[in-house]
A and B are shown apart, each in its own frame.
Chain A
Amino acid sequence: MLTGVPREDRTAWKDNVALFELKDLTVDVHGPNGDIRLADGISLSVEAGETLCVVGESGSGKSVTMLSAMRLLEFTAPLTVSGSAVLGGTDLLSLSQQAMTAVRGHRVGMVFQEAMDALNPTQTVMAQLCEAYLLSNDLGRTSGRRERAAQRSAARRSAMSLVKEVGLEESVADLYPHQMSGGMQQRIMIAMALMGEPEMLIADEPTTALDVTVQAEILKLLQRLQRDRQMSCVFVTHDMGVAAEISDRIAVLYAGQVVEIGPTSQILGAPQHPYTKALLECVPRPNTRLVGLMRTIPGSVPEPGHYPAGDRFAPRNALASQQDLDDPPPVVTSADGRHSVRAWRPVEHWTDEMVDALTGHPGDQVVAERSRPAGDGEPVVVLENVSKTYGTRPVSGWIRRVTHSGREGKTNRTRAAVAGVNLTVYKGEFFGVVGETGSGKSTLGKLMLDLEQADAGSKITVSGLDLGQARGLVEERQLRRHVQMVFQNPQDTLDPRRSVADAIAEPLWALTDLGREGVEARVREMLEAVRLPSNAGAKFASELSGGQRQRVAIARAIAPGPDVVVADEPTSALDVSVQGQVMNLLLELQRELNLTYVFITHNLSLVTSVADRVGVMRRGELVEVLTADELIAGASHPYTRALAAANPDPFKGLGAVASVASTTNHQTVTPIEEKT
């Protein structure tokens, strides 16, 4: 808890009157092939002064619901919204857009994800804040020069006081959005949403693009503002940890429906819907070493418009009965009316066996031995005094000298992305690199891959090959056979016009001497290795789910048989329920192929749970390298401790923590095929 106020006390002064209530809100988007239902009968309410978190994975309809209730979605997509969205007695769905302009900004403030894009890039922050003031005070079109000047100065005063209230210096008001950090931009977004003194704040993933330390500050700020102003707050997020920090109540959405809604302590501590339980179990615990494999939910989140009949989670639920699969379940509400579950049989008590069946995996004792102590293997990646400085481009050739003279050389604004890093990664090791935006962790990965050239004086050796040496094509190919990569967003890293088989075959054609048959055989082998159906080879990336795409990217990386795989945030674009599948695949492949991983991530909990050793980076420097056990025992460096403290944890303060994935899990799970 960030507030320090006990949860019970925070709810005490509420009068339990719903300020905002959605009833049966249904959103249909008109597509070329008929309507697609994005939200299906959403009912939830927000009481005065409380914070409701709407939690769900991609395609759950969480943002769609709030945006269409505010009548914002209809501008960008042709759609029909039915049901009702009542704010203080007025059904917003019945209002004209003209009338809505008096609701938005004035009665309801909104904060969006990616503040950089959500702010107008060509206006100063002050201009945008003042606009919010004028609009919410209905002063947009008053005439009279003197009056307008008075309004403008009132707007400026109001903007300045809010800028200070959200913790920024007054001087930032005259900056443009691109001159600010992500955290500052989001603070400005928040100030702008509050200019109209709204009764309710809707925050749509406001901290998703931010570093954990900044996220913690923004959450703290939102909580303070919400309490000071006694605002209601709807907080849309995909992160159970964030929800745990900030909410009074949580609504869990899945496939366009509310599957469970209730007080935060009950949702987190005693969830009754299998999806809620499974989602919680999938979040990597901070300071917990993974034994065996990660918990995950089989299959993938259904796409809008392709919802299963019956309980929509049933096809991914190993505990589902035939009734769950066939018939849509009713909403069951607790006696006090505070906790509702959409299920045939809400689960009152979870046994370890049930949790294992839901999120587990066939037991595998060998897995426990995957961790090998660092240092016993031979060094495979060795960095000695490695630096990478951006900003000084070497003058190459006369063309640059002719056309760019005067520009280069004068600008000596250099930035060391990586500064003096010494590091040895041993064979078979799972090495985690963790750090925030701009810490140089990705640059470090690129240096190992020879995608970036290190500064003079640096020495990088990968599988015995010195990357500093001038090399020809032959040596380059040799290096690529030894080290391969997996990137963050498989949607962008796979060529949309190439089939999966072509994507996997590409490094084989380029790096190996296999003939056509050899390549085809190897592609089939790889598809099997990453647990994709054999017919997946003919598909295109757009036909696959996010998790499947990342499997293809992994198959492509391991196809040439590398020793080292550098994986840069390979799971951060994936849903939590699918993240475990990809991590488990990586863990299994490591064991089977004796791979060495350099795993780059911002997620400290994830890296603690899977890595053998972790390197913490900050502003280009390797702050410290620890074993995972040392990290759990308590990191020595204050920066690492700050990172760990900022990590949102859905189980913090709940006491009774449910089981952790065990290796002695022999429960057989009927594997459910992913959508292909």
Chain B
Amino acid sequence: MTSLIIRRIRDMVVVLVFVTTAMFFILHSIPGSPAIAILGQEASAEQIAALNHELGFDKPLLAQYLSFMGHAFRGDLGYSVSQSGGVMHAVLSYLGPTLLIATSATVLGVLVAVPLAVRTVSRPRSLLSRFLMGASSFGLAIPSFWLALILVLLLAVRTRVFPVTGYVSPLESPARAASFLALPIIVIMAHQVALLVITLRESLAAEMLNPYVRTARAKGASERRVMYRHVLPNGLLPAVTVIGGNFGSLLGGVVIIETVFLIPGIGYLLYGGVQARDYNLILGITIITAALIVLVNLAVDLVYAVLDPRVRLQ
């Protein structure tokens, strides 16, 4: 177990170095410069050169890269031009709403998807099962921004059940926070639930064919017990992998949703950073996001080891 964690942390460092390096050079190969973004198109060449010099963007690229990496290793992600402050500080202060949406959508998604998936496997021919399979494909196929706009139109603009946009920290007022976060979470959840129902249905159905299921029945276990004591715990294993592997695209979805609902999360921050050509901010958000994804994958491996003794005891 300890060696697994150590190995994973080592992998994490390698991944982060690769991601940072790639992102750094891709960003700098895009035409234009932060100075142009700050000063506007009408600025003179001298003004731009002066600002670039002030910000250090006139040094050789390799020198900029080494300097950036050197600072990054010490936890300093540089200065954000658009936020007028440290990148690390900016990212951390915007991280809360994003994590809140991502984790609650995942947790609620699992709570909704598991009973539905169990239902489709134990009663495959029922009307509900057939409807769920169709609905799942639909849930996977629709773009989340479209779903977001439709929900805003129906539940916020027409009926005024929820506020249209905005954000209140749950620390200030949990009830108001919930009403602001309900729509974004539902949008993200729809996709999560659809994906989980489809994955779980496959893995549960495959698990049902294993001989140990027959053994459980031979012991006199009811179908309910067979499902919840034997099939579901083992069938959840692939789903855990899917949840972990999907975390990256979940964060991607959150970026879009935050922009639609004007929620001050890192997606919103990134959007602003890209518009301002704020290289350091974009890099910082990328690094933090990559670190989150690697951490989630570590968590998945640990959960896997807890659930499956064959992995644990190897």
Contact = CB atoms under 8 A, between A and B. Distances in A.
Contact of A72 (B10, B218, B225, B308): B218
Interface in A114-156: 114, 117-124, 131-132, 135-136, 140
Contact of A176 (B217, B230, B313): B313
A657 interface: no
Looking at chain B's contact residues, is the secondary structure mostly helix, strand, loop, or mixed?
Answer: helix
A457 to B, nearest CB: 30
Contacts of A534: none
A119 to B, nearest CB: 6
Contact of B212 (A75, A119, A406): A119
A541 B216 CA distance: 35
A227 interface: no
Given A70-B218, A97-B223, A131-B229, A112 B308 contact: no
Please name the 9 residue pairs, one residue from A and one from B, whose CB atoms are nearest each other, closest first: A105-B220, A110-B218, A105-B219, A117-B211, A135-B220, A176-B309, A118-B211, A120-B212, A132-B219
Nearest to B212: A120
A380 interface: no
Interface string B218-249: 11111101000110011000000000000000
A407 interface: yes
Given A105-B218, A132-B219, A176-B310, 8 more contacts: A105-B219, A112-B218, A120-B230, A122-B233, A135-B220, A140-B222, A179-B313, A406-B3
Given A122-B307, A131-B229, A176-B313, A117 B220 contact: no
A112 B215 contact: yes
B7 interface: yes
Interface of B: 3, 6-7, 10, 208-223, 225, 229-230, 233-234, 307-310, 313
Contacts of A70: 218
Contacts of B229: 131
Contacts of A97: 223
Given A119-B212, A122-B233, A131 B219 contact: yes
17 contacts: A75-B217, A104-B217, A104-B218, A105-B219, A112-B215, A119-B212, A120-B212, A121-B308, A121-B310, A122-B307, A122-B308, A131-B221, A132-B219, A136-B220, A192-B219, A195-B219, A406-B10
A106 interface: yes
A122 B234 contact: yes
Nearest to B312: A176
Contact of A117 (B212, B216, B308): B212
A121 B222 contact: no
Contacts of A407: 3, 7
A105 to B, nearest CB: 3
Contact of B215 (A76, A119, A122): A119
A140 B225 contact: yes
A179 B314 CA distance: 10
Contacts of A230: none
Contacts of B214: 67, 72, 75-76, 112, 118
Nearest to A71: B217
A119 B212 CA distance: 5
B313 to A, nearest CB: 7
Nearest to B210: A117
Nearest to B229: A131
A671 B284 CA distance: 80
Nearest to B11: A403
Interface in A91-108: 97-98, 101-106
A136 B229 CA distance: 16
Interface in A331-353: none
A445 interface: no
A569 B3 CA distance: 40
Contacts of A105: 218-221
A591 interface: no
A588 B214 CA distance: 44
B212 A101 contact: no
